[in-house]
Amino acid sequence: MPVDRATKRAWLIWSTAVVVYVAALFHRTSLGVAGLEAADRFHVGPAALGTFTVLQIGLYALMQIPTGLLVDRFGPRRVLTAAALLMGTGQLMFALAESYPLGLAARAVLGVGDAMTWVSVLRLAAAHFPPRKFSVVMTLSAALGGAGNLVATVPLTLLLRSTGWTLTFLVAGLATAAYSAVVLWRVREAPEGVTPPVPEAVPLRTVAKRVASAWRVPGTRLGFWVHFTSMSAPALLGLLWGFPYLVEAQGLSRPQASAVLSVLVLVAIASGPVMGAVIARKPEWRMPIVGGYLAAALGCWAVLLGWPGGVLPTPVLYAVFAVLAFGNPASGVAFALVRDYNPLHRVSTATGVANVGGFGAITFAALAVGVVLDVLPPMPVAQAYRIAFLSVVAVLVLGVWRTAVWWRRARAAVFAAEDRGEQVPVQIRRRRWDVLASA
């Protein structure tokens, strides 16, 4: 049963866990500003460079459903401990790697550890905080995770320049691996006085049924497409292609490019808790907020790709990146939907299903941009990036379409439940287009 209030112990457990997520965001986005150094270190071109992110994020996406099942089976405490150890090991390997295959192996280990963090943090939040506090804690977690992303912009650029590749990533890897002991010591599965359910081994057939049951819920499906659409573009820019685009296509210096990328993080950190508070008090506003962001994102990409000559004034770049940054907190709506429309014993699995959406989109778009840049004939760099970024816009348009479809279907499911006299998590008003869609 969900708890009715948040305790000091709950905040302590959550704060211990969220540090692992902060580390995960740092490790995940560190290649965003180290991409050009990685290309020189491993002697690779754009497509091979993109493979680092594709492999890491692809494994992240593939691990989401298994991670949900692992959390359900072993509990978030042990899964988070393993995540910190894996991320630390992966970053240590990356610090020492001098060959491309070893670098890929390091990012793969890091990606598996990264994949185990977010679902675990959300499961702890669902167990230790009341349902209406969940949205606030979730967006606060995401905002604090942005601190790790922020360190991976200007500070990491300066560290790489002053201390070098090996020492920078060695220290990061050792610190993360050591923190696993803190997680094992301080994190607990359930609130004090509450006996956690005894986990049972789940047969493969039951696993498939559990995933299928989560996928059949319209709220889960809507969460998948919200995450797919909202998160993919800002994450793609922050993880890999934003820094090379700003330096090579827009002519910014590396510190200037890092400063523009930091806007993605700062806006997300500032807006995340505010958005969490709003959707906690007014959950019926969740999807209108997402819809407004998606319309603004389409306008931003029209500016990036349609600007005459392809080279934008720096203030315009700041503005565009600031608007796109709202995609990170907006993507949190996906997990609020999952939390509301799935029973607690299936929340981790359904969260993993929704989380696949955004990271699957990033995996495809990151690979597509690298491949297009590699195969294009010689042309101005700004023009090449405009063509390559069309793949990102294609992903966004697909996501907008599917989000609209499942928004309508999820609303129809809520109204049908109300007509049957069932209690629904969120009261929404019928609109004219709801009536027309059901006619």
In a domain, 224, yes or no: yes
Determine the Cα–Cα distance for residues 439 and 423; give it in Å rounded to an integer. 24
Query: Residue 198 falls within a domain, yes or no?
Result: no
Q: Is the pLDDT at 37 greater than 70, yes or no?
A: yes
| DSSP 8-state assignment for residue 193 | T
Which ranges of 152-201 does DSSP label H, i.e. alpha helix? 154-163, 165-186
Mean pLDDT to the nearest integer, 371-385: 88
Q: For residue 217, what are its two tokens?
A: 């819920």
Lookup: tokens for 298: 């389409």
Domain residues for the domain of 351 are: 8-190+203-438
Nearby residues of 261 by Cβ (< 8 Å), 6 or more positions away: 32, 33, 153, 237, 238, 242, 243, 246, 321
| Residues 124, 14: Cα–Cα separation, whole Å | 7
Q: What pLDDT band is residue 8 in, cutting at 50, 70 and 90?
A: confident
Residues 383-425 have pLDDT tens digits of: 999 999 999 999 999 999 999 999 888 888 877 777 777 777 7
Joined together, the tokens standing for residue 45 give: 């071109």
Residue 2, in any domain of the structure: no
pLDDT on residue 4: 60
pLDDT single digits (tens) 135-173: 778 778 877 887 777 777 677 878 888 888 889 889 989
196: in domain = no
Q: What is the pLDDT of residues 77-90, one digit of tens each?
A: 999 999 999 999 99
401: CB partners within 8 A, 6+ apart: none
Question: What is the 8-class DSSP label of residue 45?
Answer: -
98: how many CB neighbours lie within 10 A of its CB? 10
For residue 378, the domain's CATH number is 1.20.1250.20
Alpha helices (H) in 245-380, listed in sequence order: 254-281, 286-306, 314-324, 327-331, 333-341, 344-375
CA neighbor of 407 nearest in space, from 346, 337, 339, 355: 337
DSSP string over 19-32: HHHHHHHHHHHHHH
Entry pTM: 0.76
Residues 85/214, Cβ–Cβ less than 8 Å = no
In a domain, 242, yes or no: yes
In a domain, 241, yes or no: yes
Q: Of residues 308 and 136, which shows the higher confidence score?
A: 308
Q: Answer yes or no: are the C-beta atoms of 354 and 223 closer than 8 Å.
A: yes
**Structurally, how many domains does the chain consist of?**
1
Helix runs in 97-164, H state only: 100-115, 118-128, 131-151, 154-163
Split at pLDDT 50, 70, 90, the class of 204 is low
Q: Is 415 exposed, middle or buried (0-12, 13-18, 19+ CB in 10 A)?
A: middle
pLDDT at 439: 47
Angle at 19 between CA 16 and CA 21, to 5 degrees: 120
In a domain, 1, yes or no: no
The pLDDT of residue 342 is above 90:
no
* Residue-averaged pLDDT of the chain: 84
Residues 59, 67: Cα–Cα separation, whole Å: 11
> Tokens 């998590």 map to which residue?
425
Task: Please report, rounded to a whole number, the percentage of residues in the chain having pLDDT higher than 70.
Answer: 92
Residue 59 lies in a domain: yes
Question: Is-contact 197 127, C-beta < 8 A?
Answer: no
Helix (H, G, I), strand (E, B) or coil at 195: coil
Half-sphere exposure of 202 (CA within 13 A, CB side): 21
Report how far residue 48's alpha carbon sits from residue 207's, in angstroms, rounded to the nearest whole number.
Answer: 35
Contact between residue 140 and residue 124 where contact means Cβ atoms under 8 Å apart: no
Asked whether 218 and 409 are in contact (CB, 8 A), the reply is yes
pLDDT score of 336:
84
- How crowded is residue 416: how many other Cβ atoms within 10 Å of its Cβ? 12
The pLDDT score that the predictor gives to residue 191 is 72
Residues 370-379 have a mean pLDDT of: 87
Q: Tens digit of pLDDT for each residue in 351-371?
A: 878 888 888 898 888 888 888
| Residue 357 in tokens | 């959406």
pLDDT reported for residue 324: 94
